[in-house]
Amino acid sequence: MAENVSEGSIVSVVLAAGAGRRFGGRKQLALLAGRPLVEHALDAAAATTASTLLVLGAGAEEIERGIELGGAATIHCPDWELGPGASLRCGLAALGPDVAAALVTLGDEPFVPPAAARRLIAARSEHPPALRATYAGRPGHPVLIERTLFAPLVEADPRQKPAVLLRKAGIVAVECGDLGDPADVDTPEQLAALRRAHGEAVEG
């Protein structure tokens, strides 16, 4: 559980609490390259930081049984139905007092390039409150959130979109389009397209 997360300067927080309604089921467990979708996100997080926290909600126990955590800790978000703001709130609240920043990614973005996270970390020297990777100008992940924003985000209405709060805080975009394209998976059709792009046979 969350109390086992080691306290380092930066911790990866992977949000995967949704019910996958548009997908039609447990999207986190859908297979891509022979592995559950969320495992790819965990791998990318582990390639960047020493500690990873996976935030689960709908079907949390089923998902935990169906994946290899690879050293990641998990936390169950009780109010996940309120949206991604609630999941982010749970994740940030679980981080220890010595964590300086959180690298936030999504469990349905299997190919977020670890190099993008490293680019955000390198840009911390300018000390903005938050950084967001963009791809050809399109907002994406990861998002790096400094500790100064943890309390405002945790205390905010969980129904409010985190992007709104981060814009008010002065989030800075860091272009990462040269590093890859972290396509997200919301529907079976998007998953099928990713499978085709990576040379997998797609039934039907």
User: How many angstroms separate the Cα of 67 from the Cα of each of 25, 47, 84, 124?
Assistant: 16, 18, 21, 32
Write down all domains in the chain, each with its CATH number in brackets: 2-197 (3.90.550.10)
**Residue-wise pLDDT tens digits, 7-19:** 358 999 999 999 8
**Residue-wise pLDDT tens digits, 44-77:** 999 999 999 999 999 999 999 999 999 999 999 9
E strand or H helix that includes residue 139: strand 138-146
How far is residue 179's CA from residue 189's CA, in Å, rounded to a whole number?
24
161: its two tokens: 């979109």
E strand or H helix that includes residue 146: strand 138-146
Does pTM surpass 0.75?
yes
**Residue-wise pLDDT tens digits, 100-132:** 999 999 999 999 999 999 999 999 876 689 999
